[in-house]
A and B are shown apart, each in its own frame.
Chain A
Amino acid sequence: DAGVIQSPRHEVTEMGQEVTLRCKPISGHDYLFWYRQTMMRGLELLIYFNNNVPIDDSGMPEDRFSAKMPNASFSTLKIQPSEPRDSAVYFCASSLSLRTGRLFFGSGTQLSVL
């Protein structure tokens, strides 16, 4: 398996633009997670899905952020409109179950909002 695949690897955009980050989890994994990492706040859990259903989105910072999982092999994290303070590395991770505590992370998307 190729692991968790995220795209794009880098994204540079201007304030006010819409940004869409994409993630393909490991096949067969029932859980998908979106994290954000900044120097100030470290690694934060934004939202996670179980069997394509959002379970906990309490970490989503504002209504400008939304996440979807239309099927078991694809998820998106959208920011609209984007702001400079959204600049961060966004990671997607997947897991077979919460019980194991073993998450497999993608390589992340480095987002810069100018």
Chain B
Amino acid sequence: DAKTTQPPSMDCAEGRAANLPCNHSTISGNEYVYWYRQIHSQGPQYIIHGLKNNETNEMASLIITEDRKSSTLILPHATLRDTAVYYCIVRVQTSSGSARQLTFGSGTQLTVLP
């Protein structure tokens, strides 16, 4: 059973904010939301993660709804190099947890248009 649901594809104009949604309605209280992206012909790259508070780093911002059933990854000023598949993953943050919890689904293909 998929823990997350993402749209298969999205377009965004260069220089505009890209808002990528993710539904995780069955998320547990101790599960974090992670975002990775995969640029064509490269390995996945970690972007950001959070539990319930909004998070921001040099790459993106993560907005998690108060009920934690959905989240949005925001790339504030998208560039052509942000064209990639974006994966939303939920997992328990524990050292005893299996690595299989970090499951990459189909993701969202974001295309940044010039």
Contacts and interface: CB of A to CB of B under 8 A. Distances in A.
Given A42-B104, A42-B105, A101 B43 contact: no
A108 B42 contact: yes
A101 B32 contact: yes
B91 interface: yes
Contacts, number: 59
A9 to B, nearest CB: 10
A53 to B, nearest CB: 13
Interface string A1-41: 00010000000000000000000000000010100000000
B21 interface: no
A56 B42 contact: no
B43 A48 contact: no
A99 B94 contact: yes
Nearest to B89: A101
A7 to B, nearest CB: 14
B99 A33 contact: yes
Interface string B87-98: 001010111111
B100 A101 contact: no
B59 to A, nearest CB: 13
Contacts of B103: 45
A19 B30 CA distance: 41
A42 B2 CA distance: 13
Contacts of B104: 42-43
Interface string A74-98: 0000000000000000010100011
A49 to B, nearest CB: 10
Interface stretch (B11-19, B44-52, B67-75): B44-52
B6 interface: no
